[in-house]
Amino acid sequence: MKMSRIRKWATTGTPFIWVNAGAVAISLIMVVGLLVVLAVNGMSHFWPTDVMRGTYTPPNIGTNNSTTEFFGELVQSEEVSTEQLRDTGFELTDTDTTYQRQLIKFGNRDLIGSDFGWVVTEFVTDVDYPAEMSVLERRSWGNFYGFLDSVLERGNEVVSRQAGTDDTLWQEFHDRLLRVDALYQDIDQLERREIAQVNYQVERLRLQQRRLEIDGRDTAQALASIARERDALELQFIEHQAALNTLYNQVNRDSAVFIAANEQSVEIPLGEIVRAYRPNQLGFAGKLTVYFSRLSEFLSSEPREANTEGGIFPAIFGTVVMVLLMSIFVTPFGVVAAIYLREYAKQGLATRMIRIAVNNLAGVPSIVYGVFGLGFFIYIVGGEIDRTFYAEALPAPTFGTPGLLWASLTLALLTVPVVIVATEEGLARIPRSLREGSLALGATKFETIVKVIFPIASPAMMTGLILAIARAAGEVAPLMLVGVVKLAPALPVNGIYPYIHLDQKFMHLGYHIYDVGFQSPNVDAARPLVFATALLLVVVIALLNVSAAALRNRLREKYKALDV
């Protein structure tokens, strides 16, 4: 290669162009890479992994070389230096090699204390994947790995490994699991609907009585009527409680004995088990079934074990309700403000400044809105509402505490600049000729706006609203101050009067990610779930943004046609 060629390459500025192109390439790779990381980690969470059995003999300092059997799923493997291993207590003789170690999910937290552990591959022997290895997802203590030994009914053996074939044993176990599942649905219905209803009514009566006392209308007659109602409710409650006890008794009928690692036999009540499968003998189709079953549980059920297992339905629901409520607040106000600014206000320095200010408010940190929501909405407005309308519940605050209403209002305030800016942009793009045409035909200004401007600008408003929703759905910092909690036992919208509980705290996808990923005691176990939640959130927001972009493009095409 000639030097002159290189010099020419340098002087034309080509390298600079390529460096700039490189910046684009890096940015693109970063975005796509991030999405891939999210997708891979988030989607793989539901795939049933094969469970291995192995024998581990680490050469530990101090202890005799102990041999243990272990069951578990391989999570990841990495190279470590000999040095590092020595630091953690390994007695290694050879010097400058690296070892491979594997992170294994051992499960059985109730037996061995922790779900996860590292093993050095070198010292693992006799690895196999027994077909009868079963995985139990439990209501508490995380996963269990082991072999099904026998099925018991009220402590008496029904089938055992010795007695029947393996398949009949599993079939029996599976049938009984289905029965328990059905019972649990009844329990759920009873606990979450009937009993919740009774509790709610008892609380309402208490408030009613307090109200009467405050107003000085607590006549003996009124109090007696309340007491009568309360007695009736208590009777109902006792009935429900009895029914519940019967159900639980039925659930507790069955149990199964499993053999965990190191020949440890464990009796597990079937009521503890959410799902059971044997991954090592499942084919692709079978695994796919488990995959979708777990995925649907993730999307539609309640969280378990301090949010680290189970589903995120309340978080999805809370996010949706909050965003909908916010849209109800933000749309009319944003649109009205934009119409005022563009159509009614006198265009001049003042409107220009207001426009800049509104534009800049979109750039004010969201936490500032959160602080405002907490200080103004909750402590001042909410406190006043409580004193005026909910005095009977005091000192327990009703609206003077973070809740759904304040969260939606705060986010509405946060996103109203987005709607204003987008709507204004849409209004500004409408050719003057249209307005003038309408006015020339004798329409009033209001009629022009409603019948001419509004339909044309509606896609712009929709764009603004969608962008606002996308921003609101992903915003977490202000919500932490104004209403989101890690676990809300009741949904903000349910079958109990008044159906929408504006004062209730709720769960939120974004906060769920923060909470489970950073505040949970068992981050290793929770990580895959957080990835899945993050993926879901990103997908939802990406869809919203894509639809906003599509709408905007349609809008532009429309104007192109008008702009003649």
133, 136, 169, 374: residue in contact with another protein (rule CB under 8 A): 374
Task: Using the structure block, give the residue that is written with the tokens 């209730």.
Answer: 504
Residue 88 interacts with another protein (CB under 8 A)?
no
Which CB sits closer to another protein, 131 or 450?
A: 450
DSSP per position, 417-452: HHHHHHHHHHHHHS-HHHHHHHHHTT--HHHHIIII
- Number of residues forming the site for another protein (CB under 8 A): 106
CA distance 316 to 541: 13
Structure tokens at 387: 């004193």
CB of 539 to another protein, least distance (A): 11
Among 442, 455, 498, 521, binds another protein (CB under 8 A): 442
Which residues in the 341-360 window bind another protein by CB under 8 A? 341, 343-345, 354, 356-360
* Location of structure tokens 């609101």: 472
Tell which residue, 40, 36, 260, has the closest CA to residue 148. 260
Residue with tokens 């923060």: 514
Minimum distance of another protein from residue 272's CB (angstroms)? 29
Angle, to 10 degrees, between the axis of helix 509-519 and the axis of helix 523-562? 150
List all residues 6 or more positions away from 132 whose beta carbon is below 8 Å from its beta carbon.
147, 148, 166, 278, 280, 281
* Contact between 474 and another protein per CB under 8 A: yes
**Of 31-39, 146-154, 222-230, 259-267, which segment contacts another protein by CB under 8 A?**
31-39
Name the helix (H) or strand (E) containing 495. none
The only residue of 43, 222, 371, 502 in contact with another protein, by rule CB under 8 A: 371
Q: Degrees (nearest 5) of the Cα angle 325, 330, 331?
A: 105
| Positions 287 through 346 that interact with another protein (CB under 8 A) | 332-334, 336-341, 343-345
Collapsed DSSP state (helix, strand, coil) of residue 130:
coil
> Which stretch, 32-40, 227-235, 290-298, 308-316, contacts another protein (CB under 8 A)?
32-40
Amino acid letter for position 431: P
The answer to whether the CB of 74 falls within 8 A of the CB of 54 is no
Name which of residues 398 to 427 contact another protein (CB under 8 A).
413, 416-417, 420
- Among 307, 366, 463, 520, the residue binding another protein under the rule CB under 8 A is 366
End-to-end CA distance of the chain: give it in Å, rounded.
56
One of 15, 89, 431, 495 touching another protein (CB under 8 A): 15
Q: Does residue 514 interact with another protein by CB under 8 A?
A: yes
Give the separation between CA 457 and CA 264, rounded to whole angstroms. 70
**SS3 (DSSP) at 561:** helix
Contact string 530-549 vs another protein (x = CB under 8 A):
x---x--xx--xx-xxx--x
CB of 462 to another protein, least distance (A): 16
Question: Among 149, 305, 386, 475, which residue sits at the site for another protein (rule: CB under 8 A)?
Answer: 475
Task: Work out how close the CB of 460 gets to another protein at its nearest, in angstroms, rounded to a whole number.
Answer: 17
Q: Is 445 in the site for another protein (CB under 8 A)?
A: yes
User: How many CA atoms, within 13 angstroms, populate the side-chain half-sphere of residue 484?
Assistant: 32
Find the binding residues for another protein in span 118-147 (CB under 8 A).
none
Q: What is the rounded radius of gyration, in angstroms, for the C-alpha atoms of the chain?
A: 31
Piece of the chain touching another protein by CB under 8 A; list 56-64, 147-155, 260-268, 469-477: 469-477
Q: Report H helices in 483-522.
A: 509-519
Q: Which is nearer to another protein, 363 or 395 (CB)?
A: 363
Should residue 28 be labelled a site residue for another protein when binding is judged by CB under 8 A? yes
* Binding of another protein by 83 (CB under 8 A): yes
The rounded distance, in Å, linking the Cα atoms of 321 and 309 is 23
Question: Cβ closer to another protein: 13 or 216?
Answer: 13
Question: How many other CB atoms sit within 10 Å of the CB of residue 139?
Answer: 14
Q: Binding to another protein by residue 117, rule CB under 8 A? A: no
Question: Which of the ranges 63-71, 247-255, 280-288, 509-517 carries the binding residues for another protein, by CB under 8 A?
Answer: 509-517
Q: Counting contacts by CB under 8 A, is residue 36 touching another protein? A: no
Nearer to another protein, 184 or 514 (CB): 514
State the Cα–Cα distance between residues 118 and 120, nearest whole angstrom.
7
- Smallest gap, in angstroms, from Cβ of residue 254 to another protein? 39
Instruction: Please state, in angstroms and rounded to a whole number, the distance separating the CA atoms of residues 268 and 318.
Output: 34
Q: What angle do CA 75, 519, 35 make, to 5 degrees?
A: 55
Q: Which is nearer to another protein, 7 or 228 (CB)?
A: 7
Applying CB under 8 A, does 382 fall inside the site for another protein?
no
Residue 411: CB minimum distance to another protein, A: 13
Closer residue to another protein in complex, CB, 131/549: 549
Q: Which is closer to another protein, CB of 14 or CB of 245? A: 14
Contact 326, 432 (CB under 8 A): no
Q: How far is the CB of 390 from another protein (least distance, A)?
A: 18
Q: Provide φ and ψ at 352, rounded to 5°.
A: -65, -45
Q: Which of 119, 405, 452, 473 binds another protein (CB under 8 A)?
A: 473
Stretch that binds another protein, among 22-30, 215-223, 247-255, 308-316 (CB under 8 A): 22-30
Smallest CA-to-CA distance from 47 within 274, 293, 312, 275 is with: 293
| Of 248 and 340, CB closest to another protein | 340
Q: 342: closest CA among 334, 293, 529, 101?
A: 334
Does 23 engage in binding with another protein (CB under 8 A)?
yes
Residue labelled with tokens 């606990």 = 191
- Which element (helix H / strand E) includes 113? none
For position 233 contacting another protein by CB under 8 A, the verdict is no
Query: Among 45-53, 74-82, 194-202, 426-434, which window interacts with another protein (CB under 8 A)?
Result: 74-82
Is residue 89 at the binding interface for another protein, with CB under 8 A as the rule?
A: no
Query: What one-letter code names the amino acid at 311?
Result: G
Cβ neighbours around 368 below 10 Å, total: 13
* Interface with another protein (CB under 8 A), residue from 251, 449, 452, 493: 449
